[in-house]
Structure 1
């Protein structure tokens, strides 16, 4: 396994692989790798003959007062996991390598970033789309892999690739969960023991809402109210949003039918958790 810290190194290594006829799979991460990341790496390994994992805590997707400074950076453990999963190349650049001079050029997807998390994290998705565009340009993968847990991010990245005619396929993989239902996340390690016990209530509440929809309830406000009532079982859980939206436009639904996305963000202490459930009601 190679470890590259420069763009030039990545381009040379990927160029050699492509010259041998190998297909390139990219798994973009911010490190602190967990079971969800491993599932993406394994999907890339199944589909592609050369797997690149990027590890970069991207400063431009963090807002003021967010957790950029304390975001976990266990690089040696991350490299061990990548090696065990037969990753071919890890790209672990510095912020200076990725952004260099003051950045004057940004990539922004309008509309899709105004709802859900975007409503509460202004500028976040501009940072995400810009860094992903840069990574796609540097690595030039055939496929890039993202998790369904970050549903809005996946939709936004897919639209960016479509609108800018980028020659790659975005593969969205299922959310990986702990045995109690909590979605795997690098931020789960922030949770205190007390808050970790309460955290599965988020998924429990979303499942309750999904069950009501499958049983025929079509009023999104009533479903959201029911979800909120389950979340109240966790005494320390503070709801940031609960939304039921079209899974492609991310706009709120007036009637829950056909395909829908139930998404929520909550806080336990200072830790922000997100999760979602996809529905196909026919």
Structure 2
């Protein structure tokens, strides 16, 4: 495995490589990331991972400075997963001058998580497009846990004619159902015990809808009230079309329920895709 930090060396290393599968990360890797690395082998001959904490996607009061950086341990995990190249740039490598050209994400970027993190998805889209241009991968893998991010990246690639296949990796969970996340390490012990409740609440939404209810707003409100009663600060619980991310209609069959809520200062997100039978 090669660890490369500078852009010229990366370009030289990949110059004659024709089948790259790319997994972009911000580091502090967990089993969910590693599952993407393993899946990447099905989509390319050269597996490239990046580790870069992207300042463009953090708001003024978010955790850019404190975001966990565990490069040595991350590289050990990537080596064990069979990654060929790890790109570890610093900010000056990717932003040698102020980034005044920003990718404007589609309007859905202002909803769901985007309503609480303004500009976040513009920053995500900008760094992903920069990395695509640098690496020229044939495929790129992203976790399904960040469903809205995955949707926006797919739209960017489709609308800007970027020749990269976007592959989704399934959400990897702890034994108690908590979706793996680099931010789970922020949870205090008692919060970690409580954290799986978000996934369980989403599971209950799925069951309720599959049982025949279509009053989505009422279901969302009831779920938010329940989590609030249990001590959570809820940003949203919403049922959306899995195909368009528009608000779910009564005749939609492919759905996703998405949630974001906080325990203390730790913000957790999760989602479940599901299908419902055709209404008569």
Local SS of the residue matching 1:208: helix
1:156-204 deviations in Å (ceiling 9; x for gaps): 0000000110011000111000000000000000000010010000000
Which residue of the partner structure matches residue 16 of structure 1?
A: 16
Local SS of the residue matching 2:113: helix
1:242-268 deviations in Å (ceiling 9; x for gaps): 111122332222426311111010000
Superposition TM-score, scaled by structure 1 size: 0.95
Q: How does 1:199-238 map to 2 (within 5 A)?
A: 199-232=195-228, 235-238=230-233
What displacement does 1:110 show?
Answer: 2.1
Q: Could you list the structure 1 runs, at least 4 aligned residues long, displaced by more than 4 angstroms after superposition.
A: none
Candidates 267, 271, 275, aligned match of 1:276:
271
What displacement does 1:229 show?
Answer: 4.9
> Are residues 1:87 and 2:83 paired?
yes
Which residue of the partner structure matches residue 59 of structure 2?
A: 63
RMSD of Structure 2 on Structure 1 (CA): 1.3
In structure 2, list runs of 5 or more residues that go unmatched: none
> Are residues 1:191 and 2:187 paired?
yes
Superposition TM-score, scaled by structure 2 size: 0.96
Candidates 231, 244, 248, aligned match of 1:249:
244
> Contact 1:265–1:273 at 8 Å: present in 2 too?
yes
> Are residues 1:154 and 2:150 paired?
yes
> Are residues 1:127 and 2:136 paired?
no
What displacement does 1:214 show?
Answer: 1.0
